[in-house]
Structure 1
């Protein structure tokens, strides 16, 4: 039976916690071009190190003192909500050499960034990037407006040598997920009412079958429920990290 915490899969091995000053969990993914280090900051915030590059995703200053973390070569922003677009974190991470990738919806808030629309593909700093849709179908505000309208947010597929990572952003189990191919690692959100239930995450994972699935941005949802739902899908390894 597959365990929740897998210590060796796809060349992914847990490295536990960092020093006391930064109690963030880390995993290391073996690629054909060297190690990809994943740091789980929390919520929707991730940090990757690959080669000589540092990559941040949706940095949020309520989770960490970003002034003490490595400066960013690349920053990916999924949408404009304050826990994903945080000016304080951006200021602490950005240098004159930092490239920010973002959506057209809020480009005016971060001048000089690279705009990617749903469906765009391009090379960013030597990394192949695909911008994919991220939106709500079921979950809406009292006004009837989806929490995340279609076309305003991005998920990203990032290719690191032979490994493809899908960072879904704030989204539900949308039909476009079924078009994803060869995803080695996926980060899928699981917080209500803004994104998905564990059942929706399980449905999404079954649609494109990532080899490793990290639920992230999961709020009060119980990750153990997702593990149970995917028990009958041994091709999908579920790894739980502190990403509440």
Structure 2
């Protein structure tokens, strides 16, 4: 897949490859995170032909970052230990990506299996500002009603194109699958209960949105899902890739690339 670029260039205002009416992740209704309180967060600069875009990701081992497959570009650079991405913080580690491994059954039209591993060119230096996050057990389930959190450097308003300098975060509720299966207009007609999670109370103006794709939904101390897609207006609920479904694949890829 080297040389492929899945980031959309059709419309300048669209960040990633999505059907009309859908958009990738960002933070709406949140607040600035405490600096380096989420030491696992990765800020990703993605080169697609002559344009550069951003996504989120999270460090799961010293040499691997997990993120969304739709963030695949020609070149990806990982920044760890970042809080203010507009400043050259001493805590930041800039690491090139050696290998991009999207899930082999990722489908950009249906958004199924929207998950990807990045193998870093060299090990991250773990310290107070750069750390790992736990992954769930294989096929572990998060109960509806559980309040989790998501963070990223994406837009904080659906109508604004301005990106925040600092990491933002918000608390979101995990919903029953029916909330997405019965979403008006068939928006989530491709929703898969085995591989996806429905997240965000429609009564609250809080959601992930553009620029945040690939970041983790954290429940307790575990990365339970990956920010993927949702309505273009930023309204909840939105769909996340369920990490527990992919644990066997993640472990197999990490063993193969780094015995």
TM-score class, shorter-chain normalisation, is: under 0.3
Bigger proportion of residues as helix: 1
Q: Whose relative contact order is higher, 1 or 2, with alpha carbons under 8 Å and at least 6 apart?
A: 2
TM-score with structure 1 setting the length:
0.28
